[in-house]
Amino acid sequence: MSLPPPRRMNDQTALRQDLKKARLALTTRMREQAATAAIDIILRHPRFQRARSISGYIGSKGELDPTPLLEQAAAMGKHCYLPVLHPFRHGRLWFCRWHPGDHMTPNRFGIPEPDVRTGGLIAARDLDLVIVPLLGFDKACNRLGMGGGYYDRSFAFARRLRHISAPFLLGFAHEVQRVERLQAQSWDVQLDAVATQRQLYRRPR
């Protein structure tokens, strides 16, 4: 399946619409097979193998779902977290400890979140590996999100403070979500790599 060209290459609204359609056109079986293949790639990655604290997300609306990866990570004794909307800092994320089977509650966007009252919270900069959702990406690991800017704000320190140890940001996507080139904005946080069902794309150094 190939992605139709957006109506205007600089029109991110049109590009987002095209990417959403392409993702939703995938069958359930295609999504499950893609997730399995991409997870196999991540399991072999040294960053995953060394990581003690890993954040993922609950896939929805055709997203590649990393939940099986988090379940395997938890079984390996790694600490797993899910993003929750920050209650005080608008537009930013906290990360709450998650265990398979935990009760989840939808946030105001309908995205399931663990209960911050029962789970341990961790700051974004203290994570080792972050599995990042996305709508589109290119070979340079530039990311196009849904437009809310939550990940860009939450991990802005990785762009500003080069001297600190930052989490490894790993995009997780269907191959059909890859586009030829994205125009990065000054506030965009570039991913370190992107895993699809076909291969691992690495950010140029």
In this predicted structure, the answer to whether residue 7 has a pLDDT above a threshold of 60 is no
Instruction: Report pLDDT for 6.
Output: 40
Identify the top-confidence range among 28-42, 90-104, 119-133, 184-198: 28-42
Average pLDDT, the chain: 88
Percent of the chain scored above 70 by pLDDT? 90
pLDDT-derived band at 62 (thresholds 50, 70, 90) equals confident
The SS3 of residue 143 is strand
pLDDT-derived band at 162 (thresholds 50, 70, 90) equals low
Dmax (CA) for the chain in angstroms is: 47
One DSSP character per residue, 29-92 reads: HHHHHHHHHHHHHHHTSHHHHH-SEEE-----TTPPP-HHHHHHHHHTT-EEEEEEE-SSSTT-
In this predicted structure, the answer to whether residue 163 has a pLDDT above a threshold of 80 is no
pLDDT in tens, 111-150: 889 888 776 899 899 999 999 999 999 999 999 988 788 8
Distance (Å) of CA 39 to CA 36, 43, 153: 5, 6, 26
- Sequence-separated (6 or more) residues with CB below 8 Å from residue 109: none
pLDDT in tens, 83-107: 998 776 677 898 999 999 998 988 8
DSSP 193: E
